[in-house]
Structure 1
Amino acid sequence: MVPNRAPGAALAPGPVVDTLHGRRVADPHRWLETPDSPETARWLDERRREYEREAAAWPLREHLAERIRSLVATDLWSVPAHRPGRAFATVRPAGSEHPRLVVLEGPAPPRTVYDPAAEDPTGRTTLDAWEPGPGGDMVAVQTSLGGVERGILRVLSTATGDPCGPQVPGVRYSHVAWAPEGDPSFFYVRRDGERGVRGVWLRRVRDGAETLVHACTAPGTVPGVRVLGGRWLLVTESHGTGHRTDLWLADLSGGRTARPAPRPVQVGEEGETEARLGPDGLLYLRTTLGAPWRRICAVSPEEPGVEHWTEVVAQESGATLDAFAVLARSPGEGAGAPALFVSRTRLGISEASVHDARTGALLHPVDLPGEGMVSTPETAPDGSVYLAYADVAAQQRILRLPPGERRPGPWPPGAPDAPPSPAVERTVLWCGSEDGTRVPVTVFGAAGAGAPDPSGPAPTILHAYGGFGRPRQFGFSATVLAWLLAGGRYAVAHVRGGGDAGRAWHLAGSGRAKPRAVEDLVASADALVAAGLCTRDRLCLSGGSAGGLLVLAAATARPDLCGAVIASAPLADMARFERMGLGRMWTREFGTVADPDDFAALMSYSPYHRALEAAARTPRPDFPDVLLTGFHGDTRTDAAHPRKMCAALLAAARDGARPPVLLRYERDVGHGPRAVGRAVGLAADAHAFAAHRTGLSPR
């Protein structure tokens, strides 16, 4: 067995074979794991030239880019965070590359507190997170450079934008929870490089002095921190994304900020839980514990343990309870218990309602603008709920729901009503997976002129994610809308591994059961063809990250399944995913190579190894055309995955006039947010590839 090299050590091209659980596992392209070696640089340059030659011939490339640019040319706001006399939010004005952080004070126009484009005109700096202090005179901002999602945390003056103390390097999307008393200070999450301890730290703004208040001892967990109601410190540990949460609560009153004594809320239970504090002083918890579709429970923070929880809003079979907010009742609704704003998702479409926080009784439904997605509901001091709403045909906008009302209105003040949206039709197709499970597939098509024949085949993109228990929500995508308006269909397979049918649906497609998610996607593609909505050569699978793994696994399992595949920043090498990016954090979702049964399941669908096996067969299978995207700054899935997958597919390809696999590779960006211009370019190129391979031509 060839030993593993140290990170960053160059490995020349050549045969590498590991022996894992008695099985010889070839890895001839391991040298591509070294991102900046001369060999990798030369190989990437060859892929760049191939990609540019091919992309130049795609007839819809400029058309789609222009359509997408026009669809995103609107002001895009975030849900505001309220502080005394102020509201903080981000806004990306139409035509801007990045959102900026602004503060609204009374009737005055929004004032910019931090603008990443002003700090870095190159556009490589992104604003990753922000949190205003309890009085609103300071705000913590997190920024990163080049897409690495690991950057700088600093505290700025709301009045001037100047720094208020030393900055913190190397922070990755940490919660910032402001302490309620004493010198301005905050809790946040980081890893101590010297001791290797990942945990929650209390940091004083003025001089940067720090105290560790909670050490995360379990491997592969992600800590989090919140301060609720200015008094209660909530510490969380996530054990595998979407699988299990541990929570502790500590009283910070009476000068105990630096010496909190956390008590268990939920520890060691197989449930995912989120907590908020109500105006009545009770802790409200949205949880999968005892409720695979999620329910809301209430408990006193004085005795927060699971044994004291009382169910308030029961789960509803068929609809995942996604988010909630606790709000004061309006005078017309009577005094006493607060109310709960609740949003659920049913096959990608949000429903919202307001309930009594004591009995769970429905007070009234919320009239949403259409069939779309509700996200990030937040409560304001006046009892209003602010929420983001978007649907397939309408860009995200912020809505305000005053206490007691059913129909939310636009925010910020003076925001125009939403412009007319193109008509989009939605249908649901059900298919039978290999084990007989019925899997839903949502299909979208534009209505009116240019729409595909409802009863005939059309170029179709079939998207899937199927990971980490995330239910698919149908918000706005300029790329999807541009595809629909060009005459194509867009379908989403609600495969197991996602959260579209509750926690049980997630667990049925994770770990050793992950091959079920692949089977569900294959069945979804077959069903679209059988229903006459598309043909094999006019079908393109599409997925990103965990979804990229899924579409590559399906296409390498069934080379005849479709005509093309788009895999964006995918996982691909499942024998080594734990060694790359954040893979070590995902063993609850995929399994671990260290376990022989997990290893067998991983290798049964690992796209990289299926492509290597195909390269050794005679004759070689005729795989679909594949577009892979990779981002050099990707610290989540790691760009080694698409690099190695591209090399394996090229080795497995039959001789032809053009490369059947292309790699679109970018530097100075990562897995997360990027400048609008670069996002438009990526989306337009990917869908121009799909249009070219499936024969889409706008009418």
Structure 2
Amino acid sequence: MSRNSFGAPLALALLLMSPATAFAAEDSAASASAPALAYPATERGDTIDPQFGVDVADPYRWLEDDVRVNPKVAAWVAEQNKVTDAYLDTLPGRDAFKARMTELYNYERFGLPKKAGSRYFYARNDGLQPQSVLYVRDGLHGEGRVLIDPNQWAKDGATALAEWTPSEDGKYLLYSVQDGGTDWRIVRVMDVATGKDLADEVRWVKFSALDWAKDGSGFFYSRFPEPAEGAAFQSLNENHSVYFHKLGTPQSADLLTHATPDKPKLNNAAIVTDDGKYLLVIGSEGTDERYGLTLHTIGKAKAKPVVLVDDFANNWEYVTNEGTRFTFVTNKGAPRQRLVSMDIRKPRDLTELVGEREATLVGASRVGNRIILSYLGDAKSQAEMIALDGKKVAEINLADIGSASGFGGKSADPETFYAFSSYARPTTIYRLDTATGKTEIFAEPKLTFKPDDFAVEQRFFKSKDGTEVPMFLVMKKGVDRSKGSPTILYGYGGFNVSMTPAFSPTRLAWVDKGGVLAIANLRGGGEYGKAWHDAGRLANKQNVFDDFIAAGEFLIAEGITGKGQLAIEGGSNGGLLVGAVTNQRPDLIAAALPAVGVMDMLRFDRFTAGRYWVDDYGYPSKEADFRNLLRYSPYHNIKSGVGYPAVLVTTADTDDRVVPGHSFKYTAALQHAETGDKPHLIRIETRAGHGSGKPTDKIIAEAADKYAFAAKWTGLAVE
């Protein structure tokens, strides 16, 4: 599956500071004598799991239950939020952050256009709309009209338009609905001319590609079996199968196209090839880019599928095909990836079109008679055009240090669009004609701030074992750097995800108020290819924590921040990172912001999508992996009797990616332990999930709370 883009798939974090060292010292002294918060009483159970000779206590097992099902968990959530809300109400910077974030968010934003027939489809947000609206134009310069406005779907704005794709001729729109942040999707079809939905509806879709048959007769999708009543948000996801839905028929009549009942853990995503003749099914068991490829001939139900790759050892991203000659991006024989072609009649024979380079090849897409290659060089985007035979045609000149994404297109059309953004520059959409090489702006935001007021630097630091690790710094020009600045250090470090420059209005607000933002490109990510990923997972996971700790030490040693001025932030796998580092080096940091984190490393694989993560974490059921996981699991390694930094955990009740029980259990354990008088709180959002689909007002409210909390404990004076 080609990404057709380069840029980080997950959100980044931002920061900066003002010269408030004296204020920080006063704040720290005050906190030392302040009485501890009165946390809600949390029942401790006596659950003990004997594993490989180790008795593992799990006193908060009951907090794993779904808040919708167990009233006791719902009551615990309400009591925790009550205490947290009361504390957050006392923070002086909260309103100031919220006001500035609202100002910075209030600009017109466009998504990448998709062309179908003579129509152009694109998302647009006028600034503060809870959800972006989908528009369509007849012709490139036609007037846009509203096609779907998801802001009409729910009073709280928490029902979102998720994936969407027009049919080849632009007559129909296939789209999915995401309610309350869940990963589950409801798929529907709209007649573009009338703006009315057809009767077609498909449910229990998750982790699915949505792709039309070229003749518009229907579409391919992937789904799981319907879960048992009450188990939709916690049960394991297994038996992922590909179906074809013919327009005008009920879901019960959908044709099962590809299933793997003998391998229930496989995910199976399907895409239609450029020529419309084949359906390529990409199978994977975990999060690693290790795929199997199966090819079905469309329209020939009795034709036997052709297995192209079955060793699940390498990455294979489909780019294009000319008859039986297919082009892929792969890391087979090239840890930083290369472009190859394969004749499907002899799939083991590969022809190299573009070899491996120092920069990491992160995507490729065909547009007209050109292929656009997307690279990462030291976590910054690069791009070039080549001919179908691999010969270089031209560089694509990007605006600055930043991230480019998009470059999708069709073999019959030389037109493509791409987005470019950086830490201080919101997304600009560009139109590129691959036949002429001409680039023009399709949509450029009008801003309420000056990007040139901010500076972006890239620095390199050495980790514990001597490995050089890059880090981006974002700060306001003219900030007093002589005494160090309150700083938020953000990291992820896992699943081959690269942290590339991206714009965030909420984090720019921190920088605008005088803080420093630091983003470390930790091992475990994909910045330098497979070897960089491998160096930060499984038995090497401690390298990620060491990198993050070294980043914090570097910031202090270089005078960028000072002792007592450093906050750390991360979400999902990054929440695990923050939890582990808080346990390992509580003395290094003043505040910790773990969001939707994986906190119980011995039970993560028992819920929803958790089973996929064994590629990065290992199997809790295997002794060597168990012992490694137990060494750093945030829930199991809280140190009683040691002073901890201030901690604000954030999660959401509808997170069915990393179930909120992880954060619930971790917070309960942290509040129970003797870790000093600084606050250890949890903020639990309602009608929200792992992050996607969250309405603008909830994004701003949560970020204002987090950064006001960080400002309080790092000494950032906010006015």
Select the residue among 635, 640, 661 that pairs with 2:680.
Answer: 661
Aligned length: 659
Separation in 2 of the partners of 1:260 and 1:194? Answer: 32
- Identity, in percent, stands at 30
**Secondary structure of the residue that 1:442 maps to in structure 2?**
strand
Does the Cα contact within 8 Å between 2:320 and 2:365 map onto a contact in 1?
Answer: no
Which runs of no fewer than 5 residues in structure 2 stay unpaired?
1-41, 229-237
Superposed displacement of residue 637, structure 1: 0.5
- In structure 2, what is the equivalent of residue 7 of structure 1? none
Which runs of no fewer than 5 residues in structure 1 stay unpaired?
1-10, 329-337
Matched, 1:509 2:536: yes
Matched, 1:472 2:499: yes
Superposed displacement of residue 564, structure 1: 0.8
- In structure 1, what is the equivalent of residue 377 of structure 2? 346
Superposed displacement of residue 213, structure 1: 1.4
Select the residue among 396, 412, 430 that pairs with 1:399.
Answer: 430
**Secondary structure of the residue that 1:97 maps to in structure 2?**
coil
Select the residue among 591, 598, 601 that pairs with 1:564.
Answer: 591
**In the alignment, residue 548 of structure 2 is paired with which amino acid?**
L
- In structure 1, what is the equivalent of residue 342 of structure 2? 299
- In structure 2, what is the equivalent of residue 201 of structure 1? 243
- In structure 2, what is the equivalent of residue 379 of structure 1? 409
- In structure 1, what is the equivalent of residue 702 of structure 2? 682
- In structure 2, what is the equivalent of residue 429 of structure 1? 459
Matches within 5 A, 1:234-245: 234-245=280-291
With the length of structure 1 as denominator, give the TM-score of the two structures: 0.90
**In the alignment, residue 204 of structure 1 is paired with which amino acid?**
K
CA shift digits 1:640-689 (9 cap, x unpaired): 11111111111113453xx5211111111101221111111111211111
- In structure 1, what is the equivalent of residue 277 of structure 2? 231
Superposed displacement of residue 346, structure 1: 2.2
Does the Cα contact within 8 Å between 1:213 and 1:259 map onto a contact in 2?
Answer: no
Does the Cα contact within 8 Å between 2:158 and 2:693 map onto a contact in 1?
Answer: no
CA shift digits 1:46-66 (9 cap, x unpaired): 321221222122222122222
- Alpha-carbon distance change, 347 to 477 in structure 1, aligned in 2, over 3 angstroms: farther
Matches within 5 A, 1:439-458: 439-448=469-478, 451-453=479-481, 455-458=482-485
- In structure 1, what is the equivalent of residue 627 of structure 2? 600
Matched, 1:25 2:52: no
CA shift digits 1:365-403 (9 cap, x unpaired): 212122110112212554022111111111112111122
Does the Cα contact within 8 Å between 1:298 and 1:310 map onto a contact in 2?
Answer: yes
Select the residue among 136, 143, 146 that pairs with 2:170.
Answer: 136
Separation in 1 of the partners of 2:161 and 2:302? Answer: 32
Select the residue among 349, 363, 376 that pairs with 1:323.
Answer: 363
- Alpha-carbon distance change, 458 to 670 in structure 1, aligned in 2, over 3 angstroms: same
Select the residue among 559, 566, 590 that pairs with 1:532.
Answer: 559
Separation in 1 of the partners of 2:424 and 2:468? Answer: 28
**In the alignment, residue 646 of structure 2 is paired with which amino acid?**
D
Does the Cα contact within 8 Å between 1:603 and 1:609 map onto a contact in 2?
Answer: yes
- In structure 2, what is the equivalent of residue 331 of structure 1? none
CA shift digits 1:463-516 (9 cap, x unpaired): 110110011111111122111111111111211111122111101111222122
Superposed displacement of residue 278, structure 1: 5.3
CA shift digits 1:83-135 (9 cap, x unpaired): 11112222222231111222211243112222211233331211111111222
Separation in 1 of the partners of 2:632 and 2:591? Answer: 19
**Secondary structure of the residue that 1:552 maps to in structure 2?**
helix
- Alpha-carbon distance change, 691 to 12 in structure 1, aligned in 2, over 3 angstroms: closer
Superposed displacement of residue 12, structure 1: 6.7
**Secondary structure of the residue that 2:588 maps to in structure 1?**
coil
- In structure 1, what is the equivalent of residue 609 of structure 2? 582
Separation in 2 of the partners of 1:373 and 1:235? Answer: 29
Matched, 1:48 2:104: no
Superposed displacement of residue 265, structure 1: 2.9
Does the Cα contact within 8 Å between 1:353 and 1:366 map onto a contact in 2?
Answer: yes
**Secondary structure of the residue that 1:46 maps to in structure 2?**
helix
- Alpha-carbon distance change, 692 to 279 in structure 1, aligned in 2, over 3 angstroms: farther
**Secondary structure of the residue that 1:691 maps to in structure 2?**
helix
Separation in 2 of the partners of 1:457 and 1:269? Answer: 49
Does the Cα contact within 8 Å between 2:370 and 2:434 map onto a contact in 1?
Answer: no
**Secondary structure of the residue that 1:323 maps to in structure 2?**
strand
**In the alignment, residue 23 of structure 1 is paired with which amino acid?**
V
- Alpha-carbon distance change, 366 to 405 in structure 1, aligned in 2, over 3 angstroms: farther
**Secondary structure of the residue that 2:79 maps to in structure 1?**
helix
Separation in 2 of the partners of 1:406 and 1:460? Answer: 42
- In structure 1, what is the equivalent of residue 644 of structure 2? 623
Select the residue among 631, 643, 648 that pairs with 2:664.
Answer: 643
- Alpha-carbon distance change, 144 to 74 in structure 1, aligned in 2, over 3 angstroms: same
Separation in 2 of the partners of 1:316 and 1:690? Answer: 41
Separation in 1 of the partners of 2:596 and 2:658? Answer: 7
Does the Cα contact within 8 Å between 1:374 and 1:390 map onto a contact in 2?
Answer: yes
Separation in 2 of the partners of 1:273 and 1:25? Answer: 40
**In the alignment, residue 584 of structure 1 is paired with which amino acid?**
R
**In the alignment, residue 397 of structure 2 is paired with which amino acid?**
D
Separation in 1 of the partners of 2:177 and 2:445? Answer: 31
Separation in 2 of the partners of 1:608 and 1:174? Answer: 32
CA shift digits 1:146-191 (9 cap, x unpaired): 111213111111122323233112212421121234x822111012
- Alpha-carbon distance change, 22 to 525 in structure 1, aligned in 2, over 3 angstroms: same
**In the alignment, residue 394 of structure 1 is paired with which amino acid?**
R
Matched, 1:246 2:292: yes
Superposed displacement of residue 25, structure 1: 0.2
- Alpha-carbon distance change, 423 to 349 in structure 1, aligned in 2, over 3 angstroms: farther
Select the residue among 129, 146, 150 that pairs with 1:116.
Answer: 150
Q: Bigger relative contact order, structure 1 or 2, given CA contacts below 8 A and separation 6+?
A: 2
- In structure 2, what is the equivalent of residue 3 of structure 1? none
**Secondary structure of the residue that 1:274 maps to in structure 2?**
strand
- Alpha-carbon distance change, 281 to 96 in structure 1, aligned in 2, over 3 angstroms: farther
The worse-fitting range, judged by mean Cα deviation, of 361-370 and 477-486 is 361-370
**Secondary structure of the residue that 2:489 maps to in structure 1?**
strand
CA shift digits 1:265-290 (9 cap, x unpaired): 33214212210225788422112221
Separation in 1 of the partners of 2:676 and 2:170? Answer: 64
Does the Cα contact within 8 Å between 1:279 and 1:327 map onto a contact in 2?
Answer: no
Does the Cα contact within 8 Å between 1:368 and 1:407 map onto a contact in 2?
Answer: no
- In structure 1, what is the equivalent of residue 570 of structure 2? 543
Superposed displacement of residue 194, structure 1: 8.9
